[in-house]
Structure 1
Amino acid sequence: MPEAAQQRQVVLRRADLPGDLGWIVMAHGELYDRQFGWNTEFEALVAGIVAGYAARRSPTPEAAWIAEVDGERAGCVMLAAGDRPDVAKLRVLLVTPAARGLGLGSRLVEEALAFARTAGYRRVTLWTTDNLVSARRIYQHFGFTLAEEEPRRGFGHDLVGQTWTLDIGEGDGPEH
């Protein structure tokens, strides 16, 4: 663990406190505007993902996590049900600039993948853009492989959208 992480109090917890889901949307909107100049189309996409998660609360295993550093929200990730019962989607991974270098991104993804395995998912997919280099390194570290990429116009920019996949087990999908 980096020395900086040893000096700061880092906690991963479920995103189940009032304000957590709103923070995920706000943090994505503000950070991606500052960092990449992305417009509110991106914030609307994240809001839709978070709203769908909040509204479902179905028997399908899904979860979201918040990383806190010294008592402040500093990162997030979500694992949502995919289009098939044995496939989950890794969504909305974010670490704030002030908390980068503490290993939070890896810890969040590790937590989500552990949950996916316990829930019985066989595959985890994610969608990202090719300019998110740090996130891509995390995904590759865990064994995700690039399955598809496609140029697209989005969030006020020309981007290359990427779909990544990871096979995680031989189960029959989540318990219902």
Structure 2
Amino acid sequence: MSTNLEIRPADRAGDLGWIVMVHGEVYHREFGWNTGFEKLVARIVADYATGHDPAREAAWIAEADGERVGCVMLVADKEPGTARLRVLIVTEAARGLGAGRRLVGQCLGFARASGYERVTLWTVAGLSSARKIYEAAGFVLAGEEPHPGFGHEVAGQTWTLEKL
């Protein structure tokens, strides 16, 4: 895999569908998750596609040599002043290139420029590479509880970055 990495807006034909597809495929391969997870991602992407505010919400694709290798979204949370980081993923072949770190950095820079005070995210325990990225960006674990999962029970986690 090339080290020529670009982060761009997720505004090209196929980008949103790719986000759903890659989540379904990667998480099934790596964790045996079922289509329940893919449905969750599809709902997140559909909500974004049908009603996001471009001044306050955005999505990005990481590309290596013109091929999609990762993505992330930032959307407004119900709580005023709070944004939510969503659907971060980097494909297996692109891991180690810094795509995850750069995608999260893009999100946080956009959140600051958009006037958010904090960013939250929901993930599951055991995703150690993502956890390292979140911790390095300043997120702290705010809570953990059992979640029925996506074919397997998981521990759902909420992470928060205060005072952007």
Shorter-chain TM-score tier:
over 0.9
Q: Secondary structure at the match of 2:20?
A: helix
Deviation at 1:60, TM superposition (A): 5.5
1:105-150 deviation digits (Å, cap 9, x = unpaired): 0000000000000000001000000011110110000110010100
Q: Secondary structure at the match of 1:108?
A: helix
Please, which runs of 5 or more residues in structure 2 have no aligned partner?
A: none
What is the number of equivalent residue pairs in this alignment? 164
Matched, 1:119 2:114: yes
The share of aligned pairs that are identical, in percent, is 62
Match of 2:104 among 105, 109, 117: 109
Matched, 1:55 2:53: no
Matched, 1:27 2:17: no
Q: Which moved more, 1:110-119 or 1:79-88?
A: 79-88
Please, which runs of 5 or more residues in structure 1 have no aligned partner?
A: 170-176
- Corresponding residue for 1:131? 126
Superposition TM-score, scaled by structure 2 size: 0.96
Return the letter of the residue paired with 1:118. A
Matched, 1:100 2:84: no
Larger Rg computed on CA atoms: 1
Return the letter of the residue paired with 1:99. A
**Deviation beyond 4 Å, 4+ runs, structure 1:** none
- Corresponding residue for 2:68? 73
- Corresponding residue for 1:158? 153
Residues 117 and 168 in structure 1, CA contact (< 8 A), matched pair in contact too: no
Superposition TM-score, scaled by structure 1 size: 0.90
CA distance in 1, matches of 2:148, 2:16: 27
CA distance in 2, matches of 1:60, 1:9: 29
CA RMSD of aligned residues (A): 1.2
Matched, 1:13 2:11: no
CA distance in 2, matches of 1:77, 1:55: 17
Match of 2:41 among 37, 46, 49: 46
Residues 81 and 116 in structure 2, CA contact (< 8 A), matched pair in contact too: yes
Deviation at 1:158, TM superposition (A): 1.3
CA distance in 2, matches of 1:101, 1:114: 22
